[in-house]
Structure 1
């Protein structure tokens, strides 16, 4: 399923996406429940947030998956209760997650970013997947504006994927981690590079170079939707692209990731309990930011620019930059 959070008369609501005749429709949870009850069936609870639905547990998710399957096979029901996606104001799937841990998991990105500064990859990077905590209260969705920090003139996008934890767990081994993933979505870890570089010289961070915004969405895609892209080694072959003002700037593939989400979950849950709705970012795919590509490829982002990130099977996440 492709879950969404959307805005209806200033209220956050939950739905999912279906395709019909090459067009996407959003099915509101409330409308789906009403239709299911009209068939003489008991509907599972209607949740006001996707986080609440995830917290309710796997049994509830499976009940909604059954209803999704019923509606998906009935074009007349989709046209009756669905809303064309172009008429829906989408929000971040989880607008206020409990936490965001962002990892540093693509070797090519590490090599490129450090190489720009004349540095080698440190041996410790190959020993453990590392992460930092981002600002979980500065999440934005597709279509929302990103304010460039006042003191920055080196604003950058970062092309990433994120996974969402589906159930509580602690000391989760990598071989069992898949059971703890509710779904995946595109993530843009916006970076003010001039602020980031200065503050990290002190030995802490990133802080103000990162905490102003993180974009998530447009959908939260359940793992079964991506099964067709899974490779023999358990990774996903997903094209990842970034566009500035409609021009393709970055291109990579999620299959090239060095540390898997399973390994990230194992690391994040070591001696710590993970809870439903917590978000783990993959870090930037190789060549997935301007820091790697250099100003000879494209200048830093400026007010008026529009940035779109697209990933196979996961839609497009778009934001415009404002002063």
Structure 2
């Protein structure tokens, strides 16, 4: 590597090219579109950048390539490992194509999400990953007007208007309800996320109601408790449900932290899971297989969502005519938190 005549206090792209023994345009391609550069040249340029401690000027790169090399991701919350699995896979994939991840969260506040979207657009993000499809249509019109590719995740769009990488929340919730009914349960309750501005929570609630109705059962409004997501909310909701004279024999949790809270609270209340009441979760996060009793839950394709969303956006940014995948599969994972309901006690005949 030729670095003798190069000033290393503030190296330029030309200095990197000279040190690597390639043309400056090759360095520019490496920085803006690595797929256009041979593996041998990539290695030489990478070594030169490391040796010279070269840091590209972001504004100059944006002007030259008309791209910021940034992809924005706006999540409902950062206080959860649920989205972390998918986002880690997403980031790893886009980084191999030369893109950086810009992350924000809105805490289930539609106005805050809209503000983040406007900010990211003003800062020139090349594409956006969003969670769910509950938002004002104005947002989609803006993204289309700005020619910014986007993808919605953790959801599907039956109308096929918006590109989605996700699964059918309605069907997934129906599946777990059917599993419990197959065990013999007829007395149900549900701990749900707030359904306003949250299509995933809404579809899961409707999926449970629909499955029960098909078998002549119902989910009373009093037995649906909506809460902000969290373990403490699960504890509170479980305590409320199991303090009533008419207790459910099965509680479906629309989010896994609710189920963890329910299990923790059951120990405080002296309630036996699954013999007194069955509990189910949703997503199969790491604690599900380690809590006692181990949690029966819906396993969602979190890492697959991250990978496919990244592939879709990178392909769109490369000008490819790419389609989103069909709805992804979920799986019911049966563990020890569910059992058939106890037979009613028969009073002794005197």
TM-score, normalised via structure 1 length: 0.27
Larger proportion of strand: 1
Compute the TM-score of the two structures, normalised by the length of structure 2. Answer: 0.25
Q: Which structure has the highest helix share of the two?
A: 2
Bigger Rg, structure 1 or 2: 2
